[in-house]
Amino acid sequence: MICGKKGLFLLVVILLVTPVLATDRLIINSKDWKDVYSGTIYGNFIGKSPDFLTSTPHATLILNGYRTDDDLTVFSSRRFPWISGYGSTIKSRGFDSVEEEVFDSLSLELARELDDIKNFIILDDSYGYNAIAVAPYAMLSRSYVLFADKTNIVEIEDFLDERQPESILIYGHIDREVFNALERFNPETINEDGDRFANNVEIVKKYMEIKETGQVLLTNGEFIEESFMSDQYPILFIGRNNVPDKIKEYVKSSTINTGVLIGNDLVGTATVIRRELGISVFVKFARSARDPDGPIAQVEDLDIFAVPRVFLDLNISGVRYNKFTRQLEVTYRNDAEVVTYFKGSYTLVDGDNEQSFGDLDAIFIGPQSFKTVVYDVEPLVGDSAFLDVFTIFGESKNSLEFILDGRWAVSTVDIKDDTDIELRNAYYDTSKERFEVVIGNIGKKEVFVDTEIIDIILQGETLTLHSEGILDIKPGKSKKARLLAVLDERDIEANPTIRVRSFYGARESALVKIIEGEFELVLRGPTLITYLPTVLLIILIILVLLSITKKKCDSCGHKNNKFRKTCKKCGHKLK
């Protein structure tokens, strides 16, 4: 144990290179993280010590940690192995007992081999951190984890019908088709509006109901490491740059007194936990070397396997002081492909004067889009003001784990924005599966509009929907903002009204004005007018086909109209 600079304790996990007794070992040889995850859970369930390859060179390095009389089983991916013919490679190194099995996909195939497992956890494999969060609870409750989406749910449903599970837990966001298919099994659901930190707290609570402990493993859910795949301690998420409030609140209210951080990438965040929450934090950052070369054995990095992560990319594209409105405009740019929430704290420095302000609640910004936030400030007197920014952001309102900070120069504009709009109507188009919001430009200038439907409940999650793009509306005209969403009967019942919020203004990149409206949820389906163009097209096609289809006379060869019974030229009877 080595004391860190900030009161953390660094641990090198010393593993014996040559075990005293021969053991049963399982090695997963796949580049697919789901195979690694499923194979590791399976190995622990059947009592075989599981390991996984992390690279091609690792395939030989890992063998230095085994005895040649160990019983080795290899699960190799047919499509994505790190090394082909791995079983033969192992035998060539002098190992006596080696069995290699080749799989297409381990998850469901291994589930079929675990005849005694009656509990299952259902996840969507798009969210790798969910798999990490549930692993200790899965091991403790002997629940096998299945990855389900709309492409494989029929196969999984058939398997569950055969197995007749005692319990099913749906964790995190899943496809609507998956949820509907599993509903007849009366599953328990953990999904707090898609908030991975809130969901994490709930699964830790379930773990603690079975086995209370004062120690947790700390990670951000971006990789698999062997200690995660054990029932010894639950996993608690911390952010990459920030500890979300949900985690802080839970630790303060719990009996947790020790955290073990896996890997050293998050030492800064772990330090915040130790300082603000007062618990001891250890860092497991390495293991003993398995390479026998050299007079002194060096330590190695931990064996870790990356899982899919959500990439966020929030930046500030400009800071402007508008002399006309006496407001500061801060424009954010979301360069990621996913929605993001942010909450800013600011200090405006103008010579010797300072003004501090910020956001009370997290603000939504759609993927690949801009959002301008406006603040009332005292008039600037200098020519070289700047803004100190400290903004936390994340993928949901309560998952603000990243930090954007820095200093931005403040430019000056003098713009009177007298654009004006009204929200005229809003409804859900059942045929096109989207909301349509009718917006009218009642001002005298061209206006740009970006629209959201806020706090709508879909599949039990409270979400914000965003329009497909920014509208450009001429004076006196109206346009429809379109917001894609799939609603079923339960969603319709959960949303008797919808709240619409539009950001608008004269500058497309600085929509500084806001209007809100509430509308009853009205459903609109296809009408006769909707189908009229299609009907006319079909009639036209039929007429064309009839006009070009002729009956040829067997007697004279004349081509007659399709409906004639006798030849127009010779009078011969037509077939």
For residues 276 and 253, is the Cβ–Cβ distance under 8 A? no
Q: What is the spatial distance between Cα 290 and Cα 299, in angstroms, rounded to a whole number?
A: 8
Nearest alpha carbon to residue 219 among 265, 172, 271, 251: 265
The pLDDT, as a whole number, for residue 283 is 86
DSSP 8-class letter at 284 = E
Q: What is the spatial distance between Cα 575 and Cα 573, in angstroms, rounded to a whole number?
A: 7
Whether the predicted pLDDT of 463 surpasses 80: yes
User: What integer is the mean pLDDT of 5-26?
Assistant: 56
The pLDDT, as a whole number, for residue 243 is 86
Amino acid at 530: T
Question: Do 542 and 506 sit in the same domain of this protein?
Answer: no
The pLDDT, as a whole number, for residue 1 is 41
The pLDDT, as a whole number, for residue 319 is 96
Whether the predicted pLDDT of 11 surpasses 80: no
Query: Which among 161-175, 297-311, 539-553 has the top mean pLDDT?
Result: 161-175
Q: What is the spatial distance between Cα 332 and Cα 319, in angstroms, rounded to a whole number?
A: 9
Whether the predicted pLDDT of 547 surpasses 70: no
Give the whole-number percent of the chain exceeding pLDDT 90. Answer: 68
Identify the domain boundary among 413, 435, 451.
413
Question: Do 409 and 546 sit in the same domain of this protein?
Answer: no
Place 172 in a pLDDT band, splitting at 50, 70 and 90.
very high
Total domains present in the chain: 4
Give 328-348 pLDDT, tens digit per residue.
999 999 999 999 999 999 999
Question: Do 159 and 29 sit in the same domain of this protein?
Answer: yes
Question: Do 246 and 361 sit in the same domain of this protein?
Answer: no
- Dump the DSSP string for 207-272: HHHHS--SEEEEE-SSEEEGGGGSSSS-EEE--SS---HHHHHHHHHS---EEEEESSTTHHHHHH
For residues 176 and 148, is the Cβ–Cβ distance under 8 A? no
Q: Looking only at Cα atoms, what is the longest distance across the chain?
A: 110
The pLDDT, as a whole number, for residue 21 is 54
Place 277 in a pLDDT band, splitting at 50, 70 and 90.
confident
Question: Do 105 and 252 sit in the same domain of this protein?
Answer: yes
For residues 168 and 160, is the Cβ–Cβ distance under 8 A? yes
Whether the predicted pLDDT of 20 surpasses 60: no
Question: Do 426 and 454 sit in the same domain of this protein?
Answer: yes
The pLDDT, as a whole number, for residue 360 is 94
Identify the domain boundary among 357, 378, 413.
413
Place 10 in a pLDDT band, splitting at 50, 70 and 90.
low
Place 36 in a pLDDT band, splitting at 50, 70 and 90.
very high
Question: Do 249 and 381 sit in the same domain of this protein?
Answer: no
The pLDDT, as a whole number, for residue 15 is 44
User: What integer is the mean pLDDT of 467-490?
Assistant: 94
Output b/e per residue, 144-164; b: 16+ Cβ within 10 A: bbbbbeeebbeebeeebeebe
Angstrom distances, CA of residue 78 to CA of 56, 105, 108, 336: 15, 8, 15, 33
Give the whole-number percent of the chain exceeding pLDDT 70. Answer: 90
The enclosing domain of 496 has a CATH number of 2.60.40
3-state secondary structure 497-509: EEEEEEEEECECC
Q: Which domain holds residue 350?
A: 314-413
Question: Do 26 and 171 sit in the same domain of this protein?
Answer: yes
Query: What is the C-alpha R_g of the chain?
Result: 32
Question: Do 393 and 301 sit in the same domain of this protein?
Answer: no
The enclosing domain of 362 has a CATH number of 2.60.40.10
Question: Do 363 and 263 sit in the same domain of this protein?
Answer: no
User: What integer is the mean pLDDT of 163-178?
Assistant: 94
Top-confidence residue, 20 or 104: 104
The pLDDT, as a whole number, for residue 291 is 65
Rounded to the nearest integer, the mean pLDDT of the chain is: 88
Question: Do 160 and 246 sit in the same domain of this protein?
Answer: yes
Q: Model's pTM, two decimal places? A: 0.83
User: What integer is the mean pLDDT of 307-329?
Assistant: 93
Identify the domain boundary among 486, 503, 524.
524
Structure token digits, residue 490: 């339960």
Question: Do 298 and 318 sit in the same domain of this protein?
Answer: no
The pLDDT, as a whole number, for residue 286 is 72
- Dump the DSSP string for 493-556: HH-SEEEEEEEEESBTTB--EEEEEEEE--EE---HHHHHHHHHHHHHHHHHHHHH-EEEPTTT
Query: Residue 276, Cβ neighbours under 10 Å: how many?
Result: 12
Place 14 in a pLDDT band, splitting at 50, 70 and 90.
very low
Distance of CA 527 to the CA centre of its chain: 37
